[in-house]
Amino acid sequence: MDEQRKIEEARVNRIAYLIGIQQDSLVVLFETLSDRDYEDAKAEIRVLMTELRLIFKSIEYDDFWSRRRFKKRRGCH
């Protein structure tokens, strides 16, 4: 496997991992809301909001870009 492909695979794996965390939190949120456990639901919402902000910042800082784009942005070819 060439280097670019490894980098792209690592990028996709990172995204999948972060989305997996969100999916788990949404399941917990569903269960807490269904059980009318509103304090735990609020806590889970705070966790989700924090995690979503981190993903948003990753997009803003181009952390999800491929290495090729990263190199071009830095002026390296």
Tens of each residue's pLDDT in the chain, 77 residues = 699 899 889 889 988 998 999 999 999 999 999 999 999 999 999 999 999 998 898 888 776 654 444 444 444 43
8 Å CB contact between 68 and 4: yes
What is residue 27's predicted lDDT score, i.e. its pLDDT?
Answer: 97
Please, what is the Cα angle at 10 between 9 and 16, to 5 degrees? 90
CA distance 27 to 12: 23
pTM for this model (two decimals): 0.69
Contacts of 14 (CB under 8 A, 6+ apart): 64
Task: Enumerate the domain spans of the chain.
Answer: 3-74
